[in-house]
Amino acid sequence: QTIVLLNLYQNPQNTAQTADGSHCHVSDVEVQEHYDNFFEEVFTELQEKYGEIEEMNVCDNLGDHLVGNVYVKFRREEDAERAVAELNNRWFNGQAVHAELSPVTDFRESCCRQYEMGECTRGGFCNFMH
């Protein structure tokens, strides 16, 4: 009943560049506002189109296998299946959406407890969800 939207979230801290290709600073307030707007837009659209969402997690990791991934746990398995089928024909923010069913059902077990306490030493390359 969980889907993963691969690399859907583009964190402005990781992607903001000047015309010459160098990174530019994005304030914490701007990052939080960007995240809040993204979360609200995606959560609202998915719930309205596909069914009740129990939980949604946007990864803040930098490792290739987690960066920008959005995990969405629907209440009903058939809602997740329909979402995957329809979302793979969609675009979001100028990029194709890649949706898959995910075996993750308990986000607590997948999230980094050290990160939640502000103590993760692996940073963005941790293998648990940030």
CATH, range 2-125? 3.30.70.330
Which tens digit of pLDDT belongs to each residue from 41-54?
999 999 999 999 99
What pLDDT score does 61 carry? 59
The pLDDT score that the predictor gives to residue 105 is 82
Q: What is the pLDDT of residue 48?
A: 98
Alpha carbon distance 54, 113 (integer Å): 20
Task: Identify the pLDDT of residue 26.
Answer: 75
Digit-coded pLDDT (tens) for 88-127: 989 999 999 999 999 888 877 676 567 667 776 766 665 6
The answer to whether the CB of 74 falls within 8 A of the CB of 83 is yes
Map out the domains of the chain as residue ranges: 2-125
How many angstroms separate the Cα of 42 from the Cα of each of 25, 26, 86?
25, 22, 14
Beta strand 2-5 with 99-102 is: antiparallel
pLDDT in tens, 55-97: 999 987 565 667 889 999 999 999 999 999 999 989 999 999 9
pLDDT digits (tens, 9 = 90+) for 19-41: 566 666 778 798 889 999 999 99
Instruction: Tell which residue, 47, 15, 49, 13, has the closest CA to residue 33.
Output: 13
pTM: 0.78
